């Protein structure tokens, strides 16, 4: 009887070992053959926006290096959340990836309990790029720089308003960070996108507004709005003539931007993640990619940055702003 039981245990152990070996062999084979078909890159915004442009730049670079098409799928809605949610639930096989922004990857969960995913539901592949936001004034505001803006708003609490592209967006959080640092009392006016905000600023229907740099530059260059300062710790290399708000003592801790990252679903195998990372790093280093990014106001990310740690630090920063401003959506 003991011999029979021992034989059964031995047979079961052998079967488990064989199954594990087959599984590992299958995973290795899948990684070796990856990619063997087209990859879908989800972008959680309509075509033509900043995240979509960055995603398409990345898709072109990946396709040429991986030898398979990378097809951009635009799933606009809820500030990128719909697209991110799809990727969070997709098979972790490397054939569905996301190029997303801080709105859906780091902010949405903080302000909306209905968001059904968190950052732990993704495998970070790498940071792609970033650009600052810019605080602007309408012509009727009568200010030409950040010092004049601060003096005017400080002397007139609650009199002035600033607009952003919506509640809980990176632009909204940047505006609230400026208010907190400058100890300013202003009303936030959320718009349904950048276009109506631009119309009201140019038309002198609102005094101040927050833009992503690439969206604000055409209006700034045309003299339709006045640039008061960018929101990163240093001046942007793209616009060295526009001061950083942090150059004023009261705004020395203002450091917030819009960033883009490439993500895959949680559980992606290390060999496939490494292939995607290598292709992304080579894309970031290419002169053609860098030129496209700079032309659209973006600074290319350092490939050495650990995307997972970077995003966690950003979530901690945004949490403080959300709590200060009591933002809910």
Mark whether 172 and 200 lie in a shared domain.
Answer: yes
Q: Of 251, 284, 306, which closes a domain?
A: 251
Rounded to two decimals, what is the model's pTM? 0.87
Mark whether 286 and 296 lie in a shared domain.
Answer: yes
Mark whether 45 and 96 lie in a shared domain.
Answer: yes
Q: Quick check: is 181 in a domain?
A: yes
* Confidence check: pLDDT of 25 > 80: no
Q: Quick check: is 24 in a domain?
A: no
Instruction: Please state, as a whole number, how many other Cβ atoms lie within 10 Å of the Cβ of residue 57.
Output: 25
Q: Which residue in the block uniquely carries the two structure tokens 């063997």?
A: 36
- CATH number of domain containing 160: 3.40.190.10
Q: Quick check: is 153 in a domain?
A: yes
Q: Say how many domains are in the chain.
A: 2
d(CA 85, CA 243): 37
Return phi, psi of residue 93, to 5°: -115, 0
Band (28; pLDDT cuts 50, 70, 90): low
Mark whether 120 and 262 lie in a shared domain.
Answer: yes
Q: Quick check: is 225 in a domain?
A: yes
Q: Quick check: is 272 in a domain?
A: yes
The pLDDT score that the predictor gives to residue 49 is: 85
Q: Quick check: is 140 in a domain?
A: yes
Query: Domain residues for 314?
Result: 32-131+258-325
Q: Quick check: is 273 in a domain?
A: yes
- Do residues 138 and 225 touch, judged by C-beta distance below 8 A? yes
- Return the SS3 of 324: helix
Band (4; pLDDT cuts 50, 70, 90): low
**Long-range Cβ contact pairs of 63-67 (< 8 A, separation 24 or more):** 65/278, 65/279, 65/282, 65/283, 66/35, 66/39, 66/275, 66/279, 67/35
- Do residues 52 and 43 touch, judged by C-beta distance below 8 A? yes
In eight-state DSSP terms, residue 18 is: H
- Do residues 70 and 59 touch, judged by C-beta distance below 8 A? yes
More confident residue, 49 or 82: 82
According to DSSP H, which parts of the chain are helical? 2-33, 50-66, 81-88, 102, 108-111, 146-155, 170-182, 194-202, 213-221, 270-285, 287-295, 307-325
* Confidence check: pLDDT of 252 > 80: yes
- At 148-159, the pLDDT tens digits run 999 999 999 999
Band (175; pLDDT cuts 50, 70, 90): very high
């Amino acid at each position: 009887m003991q011999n029979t039981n021992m034989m059964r245990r031995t047979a079961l152990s052998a079967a488990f070992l064989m199954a594990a070996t087959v599984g590992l062999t299958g995973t290795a084979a899948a990684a070796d053959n990856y990619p063997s078909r087209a990859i879908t890159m989800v972008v959680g915004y309509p075509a033509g926006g900043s995240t979509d442009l960055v995603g398409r730049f990345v898709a072109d670079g990946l396709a040429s290096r991986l030898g398979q098409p990378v097809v951009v799928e635009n799933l606009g809605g809820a500030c990128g959340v719909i697209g991110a949610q799809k990727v969070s639930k997709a098979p972790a096989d490397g054939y569905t990836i996301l190029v997303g922004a801080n709105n859906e990857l780091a902010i949405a969960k903080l302000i909306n309990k209905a968001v059904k995913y968190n950052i732990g539901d993704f495998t970070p592949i790498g940071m792609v790029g970033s650009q600052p936001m810019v605080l602007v004034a309408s012509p009727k505001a009568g200010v030409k720089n950040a010092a004049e803006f601060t003096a005017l708003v400080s002397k007139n609490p609650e009199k002035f308003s600033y607009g952003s592209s919506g509640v809980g967006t990176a632009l909204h959080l940047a505006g609230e960070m400026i208010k907190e640092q400058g100890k300013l009392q202003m009303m936030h006016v959320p718009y349904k996108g950048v276009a109506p905000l631009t119309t009201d600023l140019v038309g002198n229907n609102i005094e101040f507004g927050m833009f992503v740099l690439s969206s604000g530059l055409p209006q700034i260059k045309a003299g339709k709005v006045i640039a008061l300062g960018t929101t990163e710790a240093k001046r942007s290399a793209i616009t060295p003539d526009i001061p950083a708000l942090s150059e004023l003592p009261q705004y020395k801790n203002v450091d917030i931007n819009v960033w883009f990252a490439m993500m895959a679903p949680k559980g992606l195998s290390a060999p496939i993640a490494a292939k995607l990372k290598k292709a992304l790093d080579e894309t970031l280093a290419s002169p053609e990619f860098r030129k496209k990014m700079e032309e659209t106001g973006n600074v290319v990310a350092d490939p050495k940055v650990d995307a997972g740690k970077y995003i966690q630090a950003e979530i901690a920063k945004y949490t403080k702003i959300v709590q200060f401003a009591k933002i809910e959506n």
